[in-house]
Chain A
Amino acid sequence: MNAPAPSPAASPAPAAKFDCRVAFAETLIELARTDPRIVAICNDSVGSSNLNAFRDAFPDRLINVGIAEQNMVGVAAGLANGGFVPFVCAAAPFLTGRATEQIKADVAYNGYHVVLCGMSPGMAYGELGPTHHSIEDLSWMRAITGLPIVVPADPEQTSAAVRWAVESGGPSYLRIGRTKVPSVSKADAFAIGRADVLRDGTDVTLIATGVMVSRALEAADDLAGKGISARVLNIATIRPLDEDAILAAARETGAIVTVEEAMVEGGLGAAVAAVVVRHHPVPMRILGVPGFAPTGSAEFLLEHFGLDRAGIVGAALELKG
């Protein structure tokens, strides 16, 4: 769609940026109009999950259980038992942290068709601090078997991921961003288990997910100016993982930088490293959040931890230097 121009000399006008919760809610409402199985369930997060319009359209199908995440996820499993497709919408740190055992036992182990929607993940809550940051969710959810993990990079992927989740027939975890992002995906925005090459390159591959994808594209522009041809791979499904695309990157570019708005342990980087180490070891850098953050806005904190174009460029130069 709106892939940035590859020329490093070009300085296009800033691309429009979007809060993915908008596309999430619009798609959910659209699907719910024709699929009476769809319900939304939340923990007093009607506003922060952007569910006001859903509630207005389907007042009986918005189930707000109050501030009680364990019950929220269990209730969702019971709704699935009764034939509904519940979208569980809550701030990602509280959904995945407070209700981890319910996600494991009630949803994944039971195999219930529950769509877990971690809203405002990563550093989105900025100044509210580490209690409200969700940097652990990818590690935690990766440890739960049978749970697809989807991290859309833009509104188009968000919408497609919601449609997939309804059709999937099983449990899933969707990470729905609040930090504004430009459109980066191609016309065929999303397929489960498929990574997308957004820009080809031969010297290094920047593998990014979610909010970091547009930043990886920016970094590739800068690297081109330094004579380094960087491939950019958008991995929107952490599970199932597109091992073929990762191994092609390892073989064809010989170096990989992974970038995620999550803990450096256990997330995208760890998943990619496991594939690379087993089949085709190449030098790697894993960029992410190293620990609890200091006070700052989401934008400040991403820059603070090197999760911006300069940080990504620096990591790539380390590998190629």
Chain B
Amino acid sequence: MILQANGRPAEAGGASADGSSLSAEARARLLGDTARQVRRSIVGMIDAAKAGHIGGDLSVTDILTTLYFSVLRIDPANPEWAERDRFILSKGHCAAALYSVLAQRGFIDPDLLQTFMKPLSVLNGHPNRRKVAGVEANTGPLGHGLPIGVGSAIASKLSGSGWRTFVVLGDGELQEGSNWEAAMAAGHRGLDNLVAIVDRNRLQQGARTEDTNRLDPLADKWTAFGWDTVEIDGHDYDALYEAFTAPHPGKPRCVIANTTKGKGVSFIEDRVEWHHKVPSPEQVVLALQELS
């Protein structure tokens, strides 16, 4: 029997990808190979669109890949399956990363990716659930994903269904107060079916987070709001898998995933100007070489 990340058996109608049944070593290999494809896809999409948010896309890639290929209980053939785990990308500007993962996972046609941000494409610069299978919420304005995730987690409890809800937040996004309204509510309700993941790359659009509006001590903040908080390397597949799957009874979990903005492309990594800069054709070649 294949045990899901949350300990439930895989059942007809929904399953995570094979990653959940593999040895840690094999799982890391699968996730690493997949993430490399996702990163190459992101670079190609942004090159074709001449627009996008490449830095954040690359920092969140390993988080998304781990979720979609080893943790989430979802069914690409039945994206509206009522019992599915919910995933919400609160940092909706990193839609290229989400679309690439959804294509890799079988939710959308990979050929669609080249239409990213083209006129009338279903792949808008921010995701639209009414147009793209597998998207749970139309995000874009920051500070919206976690409240929706709290509602989804309450719905799971009320219905007795047991699905889990995962929300990925940018770190700069945490400057929006609505996140803390939601964090307070989730802590108060002890939503142990909810996981918030902070893509902690320490950069926001214009500068470093700590130079703009300080977030640290970030783990202490979440803990003070009643969350079971862990801090990990956001590019370490074993650590991500463990953080997403270990139980957190009586409390919501916050995973502060320390990441590198632009991860995987040396000249983009940890540089503020690459928030939404578009690589030149020469830089695209270099980037794809580094990601080969």
- A residues neighboring B (CB under 8 Å): 39, 60-61, 63, 65-66, 68, 70-84, 86, 101-102, 105-106, 109-111
Contact = CB atoms under 8 A, between A and B. Distances in A.
A81 B185 contact: no
A125 B177 CA distance: 27
A73 B130 contact: no
A187 to B, nearest CB: 37
A77 B154 CA distance: 11
B181 A68 contact: yes
Given A70-B178, A71-B147, A110-B129, A83 B154 contact: no
Interface in B159-196: 159, 161, 163, 165, 177-178, 181-182, 184-185, 188
A73 B155 contact: no
A79 B152 contact: yes
Interface in B124-160: 128-130, 136-141, 143-144, 146-156, 158-159
Nearest to A101: B141
B137 to A, nearest CB: 6
B150 A78 contact: yes
Nearest to A67: B181
A68 B184 contact: yes
A104 to B, nearest CB: 8
A61 B178 CA distance: 23
B156 A71 contact: no
A83 B137 contact: no
Nearest to B167: A78
Given A61-B158, A70-B178, A105-B140, A78 B151 contact: yes
Contacts of B146: 74
B82 interface: yes
B166 to A, nearest CB: 13
Contact of A66 (B158, B161, B165, B185): B185
Contact of A77 (B143, B151, B158): B151
Nearest to A76: B151
A284 B130 CA distance: 41
Given A75-B147, A81-B151, A39 B182 contact: no
Contacts of A68: 181, 184-185
B86 interface: yes
A78 B144 contact: no
Contact of B138 (A65, A78, A84, A105): A105
A39 B185 contact: no
A74 B182 contact: yes
Given A70-B147, A75-B154, 7 more contacts: A39-B158, A71-B178, A75-B151, A81-B137, A81-B151, A86-B151, A110-B129
Contact of A79 (B82, B130, B151): B151
A83 B82 contact: yes
A74 B137 CA distance: 10
A264 to B, nearest CB: 30
B200 to A, nearest CB: 22
Contacts of B156: 82
B147 A102 contact: yes
- For the complex of A and B, list the 6 residue pairs with the smallest distance between their C-beta atoms, beginning with the closest: A78-B151, A74-B147, A82-B155, A71-B181, A75-B151, A68-B181
B148 A77 contact: yes
Most chain A CB neighbours (cut-off 10 Å) among B144, B153, B163: B144
27 contacts: A60-B158, A71-B147, A71-B150, A74-B144, A74-B146, A75-B148, A75-B185, A77-B148, A78-B150, A78-B154, A79-B158, A81-B152, A82-B155, A82-B156, A82-B159, A82-B161, A83-B82, A83-B155, A84-B155, A84-B159, A102-B144, A102-B178, A105-B140, A105-B141, A106-B137, A106-B144, A106-B148
Most chain B CB neighbours (cut-off 10 Å) among A60, A78, A110: A78
Given A75-B154, A106-B147, A81 B136 contact: yes
A106 to B, nearest CB: 6
Contacts of A65: 181, 185
Nearest to B177: A70
B138 A109 contact: yes
B88 to A, nearest CB: 8
B285 to A, nearest CB: 38
Nearest to A86: B151
Contact of B143 (A39, A70, A110): A70
A194 B56 CA distance: 49
A127 to B, nearest CB: 29
Nearest to B146: A74
Given A110-B129, A110-B137, A78 B185 contact: no
Contact of A75 (B128, B138, B150): B150
A74 B178 contact: yes
Contacts of B141: 101, 105
Nearest to B139: A105
Nearest to A84: B155
Most chain B CB neighbours (cut-off 10 Å) among A60, A73, A82, A101: A82
Contacts of B149: 78
